[in-house]
Amino acid sequence: MPRIARVEPLTTARALRGPFDYRLEGFAGAVGVGTRLEVPFGARRLTGVVTGLAEESEVPEEKLVPPLRVLPGVIPPDLVALALWMADEYCSTPARALALVAPPPGRGPRTGLVATRTLTVPEGRLTAGQRALLDALAGGPRPAAELPGSHDSLRRLEARGLVSLERRELAQRSLGAFAVGAAAPVARLTPEQDAALTALAAATPGEAFLLHGVTGSGKTEVYLRAAARALAAGRTAIVLVPEIALTPQTVARFRARFGDTVAVLHSALGEGERADEWRRLAAGAARICVGPRSAVFAPLADLGLVVVDEEHEPSYKHEGDPRYDARRVAAWRARHAGATLLLGTATPRPESYRALRRLVLPARVDSRALPPVEVLDMREAATALHPETRLALGRVRAEQGKAIVLLNRRGWSNFVSCRACGNVWECPECDVALVLHRGASPRLACHHCGHREGVPERCGECGSVSVARHGTGTQRLEAELAEALGDPVFRLDADVTARRGGVARVLGAFEAAPAGILVGTQVVAKGHDFPDVTLGVVLDADQTLRFPDFRADERTFSLVAQLAGRAGRGPRGGRVLVQTLDPAAPAIAFAARHDADGFLVTELARREALAYPPFSSLIRIVCAAPAARDATAAAAALHARIAPPGAAVLGPAPLFRLRGRERAQLVLKAARRREAIAAVRDAVAAVAATRTGRAAAISVDVDPQ
């Protein structure tokens, strides 16, 4: 029996770095790696997680104390190891990383009466209500609370021996919504699907693959069959999707194929539901977990397969501390479990394209061609819509068809200014212009911090009442299209998705409508399958190109290609129009030719020449403080301390003020990732302990998006 437990206290204080040793006297056998303990810590009591066991401690015997008690909810040891790796990899703390893998809070299992039909007894005469009850049980046991009819009628059926009633643990799941809309199993695989599955079946433990398949090429069917094979081998599977609300079809198909073996973990679940799903996974009652990035922490043993669907999606990167990338975490889990890693997309990231073994699905399953893409030069245009776009939208309307229009800017106008003095309305907390939103409560809003204020009557600088609105956002486009075309126009953007169920409501309305236009930001390009959409339009395709980010081309290519994937999925075919100020930009030209390989080869060459990822690792450090000089001083102090071999340190560069804080950033471009991360970790720890460091908040982002 090991005598000593190494315990990591679960506190957010960075200064309190464990692990701390505790004497296990009196707890023999009850404590292992992953056990949650309540421990005395000075005068306080803390919750901690056991991260290791040992025979000896460096702490003098008389100073060692035992824990107070064992808490319920054990973290599987492999997830403890994962958390410790994450803490290191993302310059965070073990406590914060352990919080991500810990069981969700929630009461114990909810129990209730469950009715089961007893088949052995002749039924005799039944009332209509009794008949309905028995019919409802034909598919298997069900909670009494879900059945038609009263408790009394159930008791009467029990008395007759037709039904047995038993108090049991109830799942708190409300996943009914995912049971609809699932396609029937596919009768015959395409030769390419077959080849992909053959390659997966022959994979060596821990091998990673890229499933590069155009939109509609049947990638999900490959995931389903690979998961079935993992289950048949007695193993388990994790399937990551970018966002549950946007991918109800994927969840539905897994539930239709595997039933209750599927657990779904996502943010719309209540606390109890989430805790239930977690328990079902940990107990082996559910063996497939489908969910967004946090589902990568599913407590599954014997992992055989990890799928990351739409692997190009930025939502796989977590923006809180630790700033983990679920794709990298998925790779770690797969490697350590000897599971197969399968990243799927129509628009692979250059990183995956270069590093992974590729399985290709080159065509749509129904052999339908991808829609032709026309690039429209906007340099001479005077209006938001190119004449060709107007014409095409008019034609869709005349044919009572459907179109999707992407404009990556929400709100009514980009900014408002005073016509007399030129004053631009800006956020008081951030150095950015406020965006005008109209509707029931017109307002100016900051898209960075959420600040909002009323629409001004007059200029605060000069008193003029003449206010100009500049640019077009999705709200204005919605209004203008509705007026010009008279068609129903549906809008999907963050203003709509912020409301619970907003996405499903808008997508459902668009699907049900006989004709119409869906207008929105990037979300309209994501994975939806509407066979009657014949036109896709991208307005201002350079908007993402103009981002000062080395991923700008990658983002633009994937946005255009993904939108093209939404059009022409039905028998009527379709076309795509791309409005741009830069028609020759490689990202746009390659997307117009549906040439992902061409784009990736060119993009990888560019990245190699500039030593950008995947040919280096980037680490971003942001120092924020109320006063600009404190932010810059902290960044300069870090710069002076970070000298990893083979890495360039850029900065300190000022960033725009955000949430009332001035910011300065450093960016490391490192050839040797591990050493660079270690150097940053040491420098941050050292500087944070100085007066300069304490004057600023320091945050580290490894692989920033």
DSSP assignment string, 440-504: SS-EEE-TTT--EEPPPSS-TTT----EEEES--HHHHHHHHHHHH-S-EEEESHHHHTSTTHHH
Of residues 415 through 454, those in contact with Zn ion by CB under 5 A are 418, 420-421, 423, 427, 429-430, 446, 448-449, 451
Q: Which does 365 bind (CB under 5 to 8 A by kind): ligand ADP, Zn ion, none?
A: ligand ADP
Residue 664 CB coordination number (10 Å): 26
Q: Where are the alpha helices (DSSP H) in 283-366?
A: 326-337, 350-355
Could you say which of 183, 369, 605, 648 contacts ligand ADP (CB under 6 A)? 183
Of residues 449 through 478, those in contact with Zn ion by CB under 5 A are 449, 451, 459, 461-462, 464
Listed residue (385, 498, 524, 406) closest to 445, CA to CA? 498
Report the half-sphere exposure of 509 (CA within 13 A, side-chain side).
Answer: 14
Is 642 a binding residue for Zn ion by CB under 5 A? The answer is no
From 214-222, 297-305, 323-331, 507-515, give the range in contact with ligand ADP by CB under 6 A.
214-222
Residues 6+ apart with CB under 8 A from 180: 252
Q: Which does 360 bind (CB under 5 to 8 A by kind): Zn ion, ligand ADP, none?
A: none
Cβ distance to ligand ADP smaller for residue 83 or 370: 370
Q: Which does 220 bind (CB under 5 to 8 A by kind): Zn ion, ligand ADP, none?
A: ligand ADP
Could you say which of 172, 215, 247, 665 contacts ligand ADP (CB under 6 A)? 215
Encoded one letter per residue, x for contact with ligand ADP by CB under 6 A and - for no contact, window 420-459 reads ----------------------------------------
Cβ distance to ligand ADP smaller for residue 190 or 616: 190
Is 221 a binding residue for ligand ADP by CB under 6 A? The answer is yes
From 185-193, 372-380, 465-473, 646-654, give the range in contact with ligand ADP by CB under 6 A.
185-193
From 56-64, 216-224, 453-461, 475-483, give the range in contact with ligand ADP by CB under 6 A.
216-224
Could you say which of 76, 213, 248, 704 contacts ligand ADP (CB under 6 A)? 213
d(CA 268, CA 249): 16
**How many Å is the Cα radius of gyration of the chain?**
29
Could you say which of 18, 103, 218, 304 contacts ligand ADP (CB under 6 A)? 218
Is 220 a binding residue for ligand ADP by CB under 6 A? The answer is yes
Could you say which of 54, 189, 685, 697 contacts ligand ADP (CB under 6 A)? 189
Is 369 a binding residue for ligand ADP by CB under 6 A? The answer is no
Amino acid identity of residue 607, one-letter, is R
CB 64, min distance to ligand ADP, A = 56
Amino acid identity of residue 564, one-letter, is A
Cβ distance to ligand ADP smaller for residue 63 or 188: 188
Q: What DSSP state is assigned to residue 313?
A: -
- Rounded to a whole number of angstroms, the distance between the first and last alpha carbons of the chain is 46
Reduce the secondary structure of 640-699 to three states and give it as a string: HHCCCCCEEEEEEEEEEEECCEEEEEEEEEECCHHHHHHHHHHHHHHHHCCHHHHCCEEE
Please report, for residues 79, 131, 304, 500, the alpha-carbon distance to residue 224 in angstroms, rounded to integers and kept in the order given: 25, 37, 13, 29
Q: Which does 193 bind (CB under 5 to 8 A by kind): ligand ADP, Zn ion, none?
A: ligand ADP
Residues 6+ apart with CB under 8 A from 557: 347, 587, 588, 590, 591, 596, 599, 603
Listed residue (500, 552, 498, 492) closest to 524, CA to CA? 492
d(CA 331, CA 151): 50
CB 531, min distance to ligand ADP, A = 9
d(CA 555, CA 545): 8
Size of the site for ligand ADP (CB under 6 A): 15
From 181-189, 284-292, 426-434, 694-702, give the range in contact with ligand ADP by CB under 6 A.
181-189
CB 424, min distance to Zn ion, A = 10
Cβ distance to Zn ion smaller for residue 205 or 463: 463
From 36-44, 182-190, 195-203, 612-620, give the range in contact with ligand ADP by CB under 6 A.
182-190
Is 48 a binding residue for ligand ADP by CB under 6 A? The answer is no
Could you say which of 365, 381, 455, 504 contacts ligand ADP (CB under 6 A)? 365
Residue 536, SS3?
strand
**163-170 sheet: strands from edge to edge:** 142-143, 110-117, 163-170
Q: Which does 247 bind (CB under 5 to 8 A by kind): ligand ADP, Zn ion, none?
A: none
Encoded tokens for 285: 């009652």
Listed residue (470, 454, 467) closest to 414, CA to CA? 470
Q: Name the CA dihedral angle for 10, 12, 18, 23, rounded to a multiple of 10 degrees.
A: -30
**Which positions touch ligand ADP (CB under 6 A)?**
183, 186, 188-190, 193, 213, 215-221, 365
**Which positions touch Zn ion (CB under 5 A)?**
418, 420-421, 423, 427, 429-430, 446, 448-449, 451, 459, 461-462, 464
